[in-house]
Chain A
Amino acid sequence: NAGVTQTPKFRILKIGQSMTLQCTQDMNHNYMYWYRQDPGMGLKLIYYSVGAGITDKGEVPNGYNVSRSTTEDFPLRLELAAPSQTSVYFCASSKTPGQGWSEAFFGQGTRLTVV
């Protein structure tokens, strides 16, 4: 099992450019999450999904979009990159909470700089 895989690991974007951060998991988890972490701060939830075809906003969704067409993949889209989106982005997945062992597994992060 690879667990949660994020690509790319690093990226520099120019203001106004668009990109997709990829996240895939091979554990057949229903729940998937996207977080951002600014320097010296805790993780903030951007979007999450409780299963294929279902997504919902987290704490800081503005400027981002997500889709969940398969159980395995949960891409995060930045449409018009802004310097405020410079951050480390983490993807995570878990089994359905409340149904047995459901701790979240995290990817290693994508470090994004917008200049």
Chain B
Amino acid sequence: DAKTTQPPSMDCAEGRAANLPCNHSTISGNEYVYWYRQIHSQGPQYIIHGLKNNETNEMASLIITEDRKSSTLILPHATLRDTAVYYCIVRGDRYNQGGKLIFGQGTELSVKP
């Protein structure tokens, strides 16, 4: 499985954009980049995923570099409720590592008033 590297913690001011980086330099061609977050000790919540192109949904934007070796999750207007641990995961399809979902240590984002 391709490994990911994330900063252990980040701070962000409420109302500002939160930019969370992820390095996945060993990613292979058919592996997707997924982002999840975990608030307190609840079950992780899906945010967004992408393969090559940048993606946007109602929660966030995902920017993947052209060489696919890194990505950035953007929360455009962070609120206090976005305080959570954010996980960047590289996941293959069923022919690549069986589609396992392997979590790293994540980035603890603290949104401050």
Q: Which residues of A contact B (CB under 8 A)?
A: 4, 31, 33, 35, 37, 41-45, 48, 50, 56, 58-59, 88, 90, 92, 94, 96-99, 102-109
Consensus secondary structure, chain B interface: loop
CB contact list, B27-84 vs A, under 8 A: 30, 32, 34, 36, 41-46, 49
Are A106 and B103 within 8 A (Cβ)?
no
Residues of B within 8 A of A44 (CB): 103
Residue B99 contacts which of A35, A37, A50 (CB distance < 8 angstroms)?
Answer: A50
Q: How far is the CA of A37 from the CA of B44 in the complex (A)?
A: 11
Beta-carbon contact of A98 and B103 below 8 Å: no
Asked if B43 and A31 sit within 8 Å, CB to CB, the answer is: no
B99 near A96 with CB under 8 A, answer yes
Name the prevailing secondary structure of the A interface residues: strand
Using a CB–CB cutoff of 8 Å, the interface residues on chain B facing chain A are 30, 32, 34, 36, 41-46, 49, 85, 87, 91-95, 98-106
Q: Contact: A106 with B45, CB < 8 Å? A: yes
A107 with B43: CB separation less than 8 A: yes
Chain B residues with CB below 8 A from A96, complex form: 93-94, 99
Q: Which residues of B contact A31 (CB under 8 A)?
A: 99
Residues of A within 8 A of B41 (CB): 37, 88, 109
A42 touches B49 (CB 8 A): no
Residue from the list A41, A59, A92, A102 in contact with B102, Cβ < 8 A? A59
